[in-house]
Every structure is written in C-alpha cells, then in structure tokens.
Amino acid sequence: MSGLPWRRALVTGGAGFVGSHLCARLVRAGTEVVCLDNLSTGDRANVAGLEQRPGFRFVRADATDAAALAALPGRFDLVLHFACPASPADYLRLPLETLDAGSTGTRNALERARADGARFLLASTSEVYGDPLEHPQQEDYWGNVNPVGPRSVYDESKRFAEALVTAHRRVHGTDTAIVRIFNTYGPRMRTGDGRAVPTFIAQALDGTPLTVAGDGSQTRSLCYVDDTVDGVLALAASGETGPVNIGGTDEITVLELARRIVGLTGSASRIRFVDRPVDDPARRRPDTRLARERLGWQPRVGWTEGLRRTVGWFSHAAAA
C-alpha cells in the first residue's frame, strides 16, 4: 500500500516488533504518527530512525493511563491498539500487566478513538483459538482455551478485548475493527522473547543446539512482518469490522522450521528436544478466505525469502 487515507495516527505499542513496522509504513506513506509505548517489552531503538523524520513523535506512556492518552494533542483519524506483551516470555513475566493492557488499555484507546471520531483497530491474536479443535481456524470458531492455564493471561486478555471492542461499537457506534494476527516473524524480533524463529536463529548463529519443544511435530503457519502490516492496514482502510484472520497459510512443523534455519545459516548446530510448554497448541493455521475476498489480501513473501531477510537482520545485529 503506498498512499494511505489517514492524516494522523496513534499507534499504542508502537515501539514493539509489529508496532514499529506499522509506524514506519505509515510515516513513509505521509501519515503523521504518534507512537505511544511504555517500553516494558518494546524498544525505542526500533523507532530511532523515525524520530529524525517530520511527522513522527514518540511518547513514553502506558496505554492503561487514561490521562496520558487523553492529553495527547491534536486529533487522530486512526487508532491502532497494539500495546500488550505478546511473547510467552513477556506475558508470563508480566501477567497482570498483560491483563491490564487488554482491559483498561483497550478501553482507554477506544475512548480516545471515540472522542476523535477515529477508526479504531484492535490487534488481537490467533491465541484466542487456544489449542484449536478446528483446523484450519475460521473466524467463527469460538476456540478451545484454558481460562486458568499459564497462557490464559494473554489468551483471555485478547478475548476480553474483542468483547470490549464489540460492545463499544454496539453501544457508542465507534468505528472499530478486529484483526486476529497469527505467528509473525521478521527483523526487530528479540532473541529472548521465547518465540521459535528468533530463538532458533540466535542459537544457530551462536552454534548452540536448537531447543525444539516436545518432539517438534506441532505446526505453525508463519507470516513475514511486511505481509502482516499489509493485512492490518488493509483492514483498517476497509469498512470491515472483523474479526479477520491475517497470517501465513503454509503450515510447517516446528522441527522442520528448526532444520530450515540451520540450513539457511550454514550452522553446525544440532537439535535438542526440551519439554513442551503447558497448553502449547498442537496445530495452528488460519483460514484466510475473508482477508482474500473482502480485503484483497494474501501473503506475498515466501518462507525462503522471509527467513533469509530475517537471518540477515539478526546476523547484522549480532555483528554491530
């Protein structure tokens, strides 16, 4: 997407992995961006290059602080709510903060969007499907979530956020949309966030064993971050309310993913099997028919190219 229809956008969680890519895409298209982030899991270095450009402003604040959001000057015509710990290592370390981001943070971002008459988009997740009994997962599937398991702080935070967005639209007429983002990878991921791609790449580059959970037969369908950003902005620019799945459709086992990364890095690392986390989904692949038919969206960056770019970024970062 080149020209975008928004003059001014607020991105909560904008210094995070996906959020920072969204900020960059919006700025390149000429949209003024306010990036709000408390840096609990984000990194200001992710948007450092944008801070030198006109039309971009970084604000260190928490989305759960209603006064901070209300005090942001000017009017927004787009609010993208991405503020929430998203990796297992983060939401297990910050369980209450994760629940607050989905509840209070979402409510505050909705109220700012309502006050400004802005389009609001919630970044939800494939985790609302839990360990799915339906495959691939369609948007009308209600999910199979353990509400008291260790992952529940993230799963239920997003499920509540979806309910809150839906109620806000129904009661106040707020212009809202919900995107369910499936596993996304690419530059700016953190090596210690517990997700498979950055963990495997860091281990392969270090020459240490790649730690595959269980027997590695569980599957994931990853999407390169540029494609995810395209899908998010396509939904935001549409009249659709969602939820809409955005994710890759090429399903792969975690073990095969580890082997591909070893091959791409030329590493001599071996595979080491470790205990599988509680409630770790056995299969994960989105049905993206709605995104194709209503948004004209589908992934364009294939596995080989996406992983090559990601490995290159990690290699450069390690050498810097």
Q: pLDDT tens, 181-228?
A: 999 999 999 988 889 999 999 999 999 999 999 999 999 899 999 999
Is residue 26 one of the residues assigned to a domain?
A: yes
pLDDT at 320: 66
Taking 80 as the threshold, does the pLDDT of residue 3 lie above it? no
Q: 118 lies in which domain range?
A: 8-184+225-247+285-299
The pLDDT tens digits of the residues spanning 268-316 come to 999 999 998 887 888 889 999 999 999 999 999 998 899 999 999 999 8
Q: Point out the residues that are catalytic.
A: 154
CA-CA distance, 227 to 238, in Å (whole number)?
17
Is residue 95 one of the residues assigned to a domain?
A: yes
The pLDDT tens digits of the residues spanning 34-78 come to 999 999 999 999 999 999 999 999 999 999 999 999 999 999 999
Is residue 161 one of the residues assigned to a domain?
A: yes
pLDDT at 2: 55
Is residue 200 one of the residues assigned to a domain?
A: no
pLDDT at 318: 74
Is residue 268 one of the residues assigned to a domain?
A: no
Is residue 308 one of the residues assigned to a domain?
A: no
Is residue 177 one of the residues assigned to a domain?
A: yes
Structure tokens at 232: 């998010």
pTM, rounded to two decimals: 0.95
Total domains present in the chain: 1
The three-point CA angle 164-140-112 to 5° equals 25
Is residue 201 one of the residues assigned to a domain?
A: no
The pLDDT tens digits of the residues spanning 125-140 come to 999 999 999 999 999 9
Q: For the domain that residue 136 is a member of, what is the CATH number?
A: 3.40.50.720
CA-CA distance, 117 to 250, in Å (whole number)?
38
